[in-house]
Amino acid sequence: MENIQELKNTLSYIHSEINRIETMAGTLSTIEREHYKKLTNFDHTELVDIAVEEQNAARQLGTMKHMCLAIAQKIDGINSAIDRGEIGGDEGRATETH
């Protein structure tokens, strides 16, 4: 029982940190997109090259944001399974005794 509570606390911490990372990735992605728009307003090849890099960074950060959301959903699923007793509950203990 103590291990299950420790697992739930750990999952809660990981979930919280994943949410923070997701928020940071979203914010940085927005900033990168704004940089892309500003840099493409200049008629300068090097600035346009930098703008394209900013656009790629924005896409990668957007992907990271979606990955964080998926991980957070998985953690929610694990927490729900624990609450239903599917992990570490009576069912798990019964399996251990057989």
Structure tokens, 94: 């019964």
Helix boundaries (H) for 1-98: 2-39, 45-83, 90-97
Residue at 61 is within a domain: yes
In terms of Cα–Cα distance, which of 19, 3, 2 is closest to 75?
A: 19
Mean pLDDT over residues 32-53, rounded? 95
Q: Which domain holds residue 73?
A: 1-82
Whether 92 is in a domain gets the answer no
For range 48-74, the mean pLDDT: 97
- Mean pLDDT, residues 78-83: 94
Kindly report the pTM of this predicted structure.
0.79
Number of domains forming the structure of the chain? 1
Q: Note whether residue 65 is domain-resident.
A: yes
Domain-located, residue 94: no
On whether residue 91 sits in a domain, the answer given is: no
In angstroms, rounded to a whole number, what is the distance separating the alpha carbons of residues 93 and 4?
Answer: 12
**What is residue 89's DSSP assignment?**
S
